[in-house]
């Protein structure tokens, strides 16, 4: 079932007030979904991905509400209606009790801040001051003119337009044959053939047949990216990026101290491995080699291989620090077969490189590492920063049911997986003495 694309909601216990807001948004040709809220009725499903939420404060329709009653009712409604993973949104209090907004903020901060997603923007419209439709229209236009909201809505709208253009461009190529207007017999058959073929060419026959949906996504992505690249973002982005536009050098532009770079890297490069096979390119697997078997399987003791990855400087770390980091570290395997072999699902022994997942630490804690060690950027997950490094001296060919391959942990992005392959090729092609001449 296709779900509605709802980005703006209005919540009130008075249907007439809801109609006022919806009617005003209709004049702007913007969709606003009305939510008539009655205490005790319950909401069937929380709203997610909301960008603007209008909330009346006195949702209990109390004649002379106390501060505690107002705070309790509005916080309960926010918790009940907006999904905890909603993302950035503006919360607009549309009420005759806008003087209570600071009390509400304090109440939620002290009691419910972990249960209600924090708004990017909080604003208010006093119902008592809105005497006609034009007044409400002006107030809503003022809300929408916020540069942060403009930038946020602009990118979402451009992404949507790019998706629409992607669909239109492919559908316009599908032959209708001798179908009459309103009939799609030939179109449906050709739809099947065309999308089956582009999925096959994009992902390879075996992979596409196994997962047609993934094949279509892979096939359409270059068109989607092209369409998005060719849509100009609004000037509101310039207003939100003054660190860049007003800087005098690149060294003046940096992430804030509180910014978690590992979270950003995880979003870009570290994906969920659920449902992926052990031979999937870029997949990260636990290493199932027991401590006692490292020497027999890899030719060296576990502690010696760990030392290759983490050559601690004993003068800059304590024994306790070194032991704590080693105890938190775990060996992994990463599938790094050639992209073409993976795409075509060629019969092969998959290629795995040995890696180590370990806690993030100060680089000065380590001595210089061998050129065989390649470290990936810092990642953040489950409340911790960590790094992954691979060792080019330990490349293996395994079949996917080899007992040394453990359960999937993550899957690396295509970019990082290819980077590992390129670095490995450079490492193995280092030139020594080629010949001697007379």
Mean pLDDT of 311-318: 90
State the DSSP H helix or E strand holding residue 105, giving kind and residue range, or none if neither.
Answer: helix 101-111
Report pLDDT for 274.
86
Q: What integer pLDDT is reported at residue 239 of this predicted model? A: 82
Tokens of 134: 């034009």
pLDDT at 340 over 70: no
Q: What is the residue-averaged pLDDT of the chain?
A: 87
So what's the pLDDT on residue 408? 94
Determine whether 395 is exposed, middle or buried from the number of CB atoms within 10 Å of its CB (0-12, 13-18, 19+). middle
Two tokens, residue 199: 């999925």
Tens digit of pLDDT for each residue in 149-191? 888 888 888 999 999 999 888 888 888 888 887 788 888 888 8
Q: Look up residue 322 and give its two tokens.
A: 């070194």
Contacts of 150 (CB under 8 A, 6+ apart): 144, 234, 236
> Of 180-194, 269-283, 378-392, which one has max mean pLDDT?
378-392
User: Of the ranges 16-25, 120-129, 176-185, 370-379, which one carries the lowest mean pLDDT score?
Assistant: 176-185
What token pair was written down for 186?
């030939």
Percent of the chain scoring above 90 in pLDDT: 42
Q: For residues 25 and 6, is the Cβ–Cβ distance under 8 A?
A: no
Q: What is the mean pLDDT of residues 201-211?
A: 83
* Res. 211 pLDDT band, cuts 50 70 90: confident
Q: Is the per-residue pLDDT at 4 higher than 60? A: no
The DSSP letter of residue 88 is S
Contacts of 304 (CB under 8 A, 6+ apart): none
pTM of the entire structure? Answer: 0.73
Tokens describing residue 47: 């709203």
What torsion, rounded to 10 degrees, do the Cα atoms 151, 154, 158, 159 define?
Answer: 60
| In the predicted structure, residue 1 carries a pLDDT above the cut 50 | no
The residues, any chain, with a CB within 8 Å of residue 6's CB and separated by 6 or more, are 31, 33, 47, 49, 50
**pLDDT, tens digit, for every residue of 33-53?**
999 988 767 777 899 989 999
Predicted confidence at residue 2, as pLDDT, reads 45
Taking only the tens place, the pLDDT of each residue in 74-114 is 999 999 999 998 989 999 999 888 899 999 999 999 999 89
From 47, 98, 91, 43, select the one nearest 70 (Cα to Cα).
Answer: 98
**Domain ranges, ordered by start, for the chain:** 8-145, 151-250, 260-428
Cα-Cα end-to-end distance for the chain: 78
User: Which range has the worst mean pLDDT, 12-16, 63-67, 70-74, 399-403?
Assistant: 63-67
What is the Cα Rg of the chain in Å? 29
Identify the pLDDT of residue 357: 97
Instruction: Residues 8-145: name the CATH superfamily.
Output: Response regulator (3.40.50.2300)
């Amino acid at each position: 079932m296709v779900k509605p694309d709802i980005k703006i909601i209005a919540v009130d216990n008075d249907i007439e007030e809801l109609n006022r807001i919806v009617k005003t948004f209709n004049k702007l040709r913007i969709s606003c979904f009305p939510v008539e809220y009655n205490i005790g009725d319950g909401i069937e499903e929380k709203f997610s991905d909301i960008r603007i939420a209008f909330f009346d404060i006195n949702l209990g329709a109390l004649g002379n509400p106390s501060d505690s009653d107002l705070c309790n009712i509005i916080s309960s409604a926010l918790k009940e209606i907006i999904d905890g993973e909603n993302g950035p949104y503006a919360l607009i209090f549309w009420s005759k009790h806008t003087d209570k907004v600071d009390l509400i903020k304090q109440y939620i901060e002290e009691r419910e801040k972990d249960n209600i997603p924090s708004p990017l923007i909080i604003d208010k419209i006093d119902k008592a001051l809105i005497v006609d439709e034009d007044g409400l229209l002006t107030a809503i236009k003022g809300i929408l003119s916020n540069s942060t909201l403009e930038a946020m809505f602009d990118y979402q709208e451009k992404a949507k337009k790019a998706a629409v253009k992607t669909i239109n461009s492919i559908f316009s190529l599908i032959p209708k044959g001798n179908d009459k207007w309103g009939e799609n017999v030939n179109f449906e058959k050709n739809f099947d053939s065309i999308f089956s073929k582009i999925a096959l060419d994009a992902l390879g026959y075996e992979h596409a047949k196994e997962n047609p949906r993934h094949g279509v996504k892979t096939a359409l992505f270059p068109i989607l990216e092209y369409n998005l690249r060719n849509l100009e973002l609004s000037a509101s982005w310039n207003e939100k990026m003054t660190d860049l536009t007003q800087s005098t050098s690149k060294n003046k532009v940096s992430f804030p101290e509180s910014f978690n770079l590992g979270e950003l890297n995880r979003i870009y490069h570290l994906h969920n491995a659920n449902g992926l096979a052990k031979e999937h390119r870029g997949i990260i697997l636990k290493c199932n080699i027991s401590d006692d078997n490292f020497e027999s399987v890899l030719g060296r003791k576990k502690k010696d291989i760990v030392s290759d990855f983490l050559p601690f400087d004993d003068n800059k770390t304590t024994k306790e620090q070194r032991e704590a980091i080693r105890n938190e570290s775990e060996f992994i395997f990463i599938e790094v077969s050639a992209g073409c072999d993976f795409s075509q699902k060629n019969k092969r022994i998959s290629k795995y490189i040995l890696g180590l997942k370990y806690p993030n630490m100060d680089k000065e804690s380590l001595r210089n590492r061998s050129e065989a060690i390649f470290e990936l950027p810092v990642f953040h997950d489950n409340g911790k920063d960590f790094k992954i490094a691979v060792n080019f001296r330990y490349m293996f060919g395994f079949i996917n049911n080899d007992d040394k391959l453990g359960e999937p942990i993550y899957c690396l992005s295509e970019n990082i997986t290819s980077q590992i392959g390129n670095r490995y090729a450079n490492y193995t092609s280092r030139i020594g003495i080629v010949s001697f001449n007379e």
